[in-house]
Amino acid sequence: MNVFLNKVIFHLTSRLSLFLFFLCIFLLPNSLKAQNSLLWKIEGNDLEKPSYLYGTMHSQDKRVHDLGKLAVPYIEASDAVALELVIDSTDILRMMMTMFSEMMMKDTTLQDLYEEEEYEMVKNYVTTELGMFAILLKIDQMKPLYISLFVEEMSTLDSQIGHEMDMALDQFFQLVGEQKGKKLIGVETFEEQMGAFNRIPLKEQAAMLLTAVQSEQNGTVPDSSIQTLMHYYLEQDLDGLMEWYNKEKNYAETSFDTIILLERNYRMADRMDKIIQSQATFIAVGALHLPGEDGLIQLLSKKGYTLSPVFMELPESENIEKRELPIELKMEKKE
Between strands 39-44 and 51-56, the pairing is antiparallel
* 121 vs 115: CA distance, rounded Å: 10
Q: Which pLDDT band, with edges at 50, 70 and 90, does 28 fall under?
A: very low
164-168, 169-173, 186-190, 265-269: least confident range: 164-168
| Residues spanned by the domain of 52 | 2-310
- Whether 319 is covered by a domain: the verdict is no
What strand order describes the sheet that includes 281-286?
183-186, 80-83, 281-286, 51-56, 39-44, 305-310
Better-scored residue on pLDDT, 76 or 196: 76
| pLDDT over 50 (residue 231) | yes
Whether residue 242 is contained in a domain is answered as yes
The CA distance from 329 to 179, in Å, is 9
Q: What number is the average pLDDT over the span 118-145?
A: 92
From residue 329, give the alpha-carbon distance in Å to each of 13, 69, 322.
25, 9, 12
Residue 213 is which amino acid?
A: V
Mean pLDDT of 317-334: 39
Q: Has residue 36 been placed in a domain? A: yes
pLDDT band at 29 (very low <50, low <70, confident <90, very high): very low
- 21 pLDDT more than 80: no
Q: What's the number of domains the chain is made of?
A: 1
Residue 330 lies in a domain: no
Is the full-model pTM beyond 0.75?
A: yes
What are the backbone dihedrals phi and psi of residue 186, each rounded to the nearest 5 degrees, phi first?
A: -95, 120
Give the number of other CB atoms < 10 A from CB of residue 273.
Answer: 15
> Quick check: is 316 in a domain?
no
Collapsing DSSP to helix, strand or coil, 136 comes out as helix
Model confidence at 26, pLDDT cuts 50, 70, 90, reads: very low
Give me the count of residues in the chain.
Answer: 335
Distance CA 232, CA 24 (A): 15
DSSP state of 48: S
Confidence of residue 230 (pLDDT cuts 50, 70, 90): confident
Residue 135, pLDDT above cutoff 60: yes
Q: How high is the mean pLDDT of the chain?
A: 79
pLDDT tens for 49-64 read 999 999 998 888 899 9
Position 235 in a domain: yes
